[in-house]
Chains A and B, each alone.
Chain A
Amino acid sequence: MKQLLILGAGTSGTMMSNHLRKTLPKKDWQITVVDHQENHYYQPGFLFLPFDIYKTSQLKKSIKKFIPKGVNLIQEKVELIDKDQDQVSLKNGEKLKYDILIIATGTDIAPREIEGMLGDHWQKSVFDFYTFDGARNLRNKLRKWDGGKLVVHISEMPIKCPVAPLEFAFLADSYFKNKKMRDKVDITFVTPVSGAFTKPKASKELNYLLEQKNIKIVPDFNIEKVDADNNKIVDYGGMEVEYDLLVTVPTNMGDDVIERSGFGDELNFVPTDKATLQTKVKDNIFAIGDATNIPASKAGSVAHFEAEILTENIQRYINGQELKQEFDGHANCFVETGDGKAILIDFNYTHEPTTGHYPFPNFGPLSLLKESHMNHLGKLAFRWIYWNMLITGKHIPFVSATMDTDGKDLEPEQEITH
């Protein structure tokens, strides 16, 4: 019996176990998934939890529920990947041999990377919303906060769901308006990037919304430290921004196991071929989702598109065929803009987000790069799609893995450098 081992049972690992159980013959292949957590979290919901839009119970379900029959689930931490021995060690000392390995360990926040971020003030006046606990603690704080300077901050790129911090600022504007205290809250968005978003065209559109909502932006801010005693963040160039409440996205890093195993980049991401998803570590090791270093957004939608292509490439690898160079960096994100509206953006390695309609050209019903209520409903519907279709590997109708250029108001193709 051959062994296929998947590390991580988050969005990507769960999808891959579902896809592969359907495609690999049961008599030849045993599939095993390892994850030390008990719960699978719906991470996009972490954006809404602080504003009391979702309840905690809507965001977590048991990991077990989504791992298909015929796949072996081990709930234990992965300690080491020994690529030379084709073997993985677990925290309890168990060793697992594999023929094919898929790394799907995602990315997590690393507040320790920024001087002064951790301390007594952490989760008291300095919060994250990228973890379940962080989002919940922030919700409790916001429920009783009486206003002041709210700073929404990104420590450094890349981060998963790069638009989430901006959405957080938009939703905060809505939230305080509804609580009739917007005049007591001063909102500033602080980012290491030169504008509201990393892609210039979308950035222009989003900058305009910031202005409309009276949210200040401080671009090109590379944080050196949090000076919690004086309630301010300081950048390497000496720039300072004061806060009463700091909502930060700390540095995002891959899991330590990648570093311990000796093949991560400086942020513990796995060097991976951006078109085939085979790693540069060894031929029988593949990677998917947030754990890779490919220059695509770290998002569930990206992982979804990758999963279809990786499933095919694993079959090709097994059959000794050449891998398909098919992944094009396709990402598809709803950007909540507050007041019951959202923007939808669709882009890949070579095309910037643009205006147009999705998924049906000239019709939609979703409009690209324009605010609409329909897009907001799309974003909310995504939670149902996530739990019921996406992670269980069901095909989502009309949505293709590679980017469709029909219905888009495109300019000539140009390589976007990263």
Chain B
Amino acid sequence: MEQVFAGVSVQVNDEGYLTDFSQWTREVGEDMAQKEGITMTDKHWEVINYLQEQERNEVPLTIRKIGKSGVVNIKEFYALFPNGPLKVSSKIAGIPKPVSCI
């Protein structure tokens, strides 16, 4: 399905996650965040960069891993991305929805 962010049309699945990461830009992320009610700050971007790097290295993401990342602790993570921070931040980062393993 197609959706428009920051004036650009991108492919998303039925939960709103990008299906093609090459369509992601900072502007797309920023607009997605805004629609989730989040105003991006440097700290937000630091988390997004970390998530994207983990995804590139095929490391499965969990809340615990984020807490140990050195980027944010879990409390801060919830403060930055309220209501299901891992799901929300992954969406903004343009990566697939993390499935907590099996």
Interface residues of A (CB under 8 A from B): 156-158, 162, 192-193, 198-199, 220, 222, 224, 236-237, 266-267, 295-298, 331, 416-418
Contacts and interface: CB of A to CB of B under 8 A. Distances in A.
B64 A267 contact: yes
Contacts of B60: 295, 418
Interface string B64-102: 110010000011011000111100000000001001111
A296 B60 CA distance: 13
Given A156-B63, A158-B101, A266 B74 contact: no
A418 B63 contact: no
B76 to A, nearest CB: 10
Nearest to B77: A236
Given A224-B74, A236-B74, A236-B75, A266 B64 contact: yes
State the majority secondary structure of interface residues on B: loop
B83 A418 contact: no
B62 interface: yes
B101 A295 contact: yes
A199 B99 CA distance: 9
B102 A296 contact: yes
A295 B82 contact: no
A156 B64 contact: yes
Contacts of A162: 102
Contacts of B102: 157-158, 162, 198-199, 295-298, 331, 418
B82 A156 contact: no
25 contacts: A157-B62, A157-B100, A157-B101, A158-B100, A158-B102, A162-B102, A192-B63, A198-B102, A199-B102, A224-B74, A236-B63, A236-B75, A236-B85, A237-B78, A237-B85, A266-B65, A267-B64, A295-B101, A296-B102, A297-B102, A331-B102, A416-B99, A417-B96, A418-B60, A418-B102
Contacts of A298: 102
B68 A198 contact: no
Contacts of A157: 62, 100-102
A193 B78 CA distance: 16
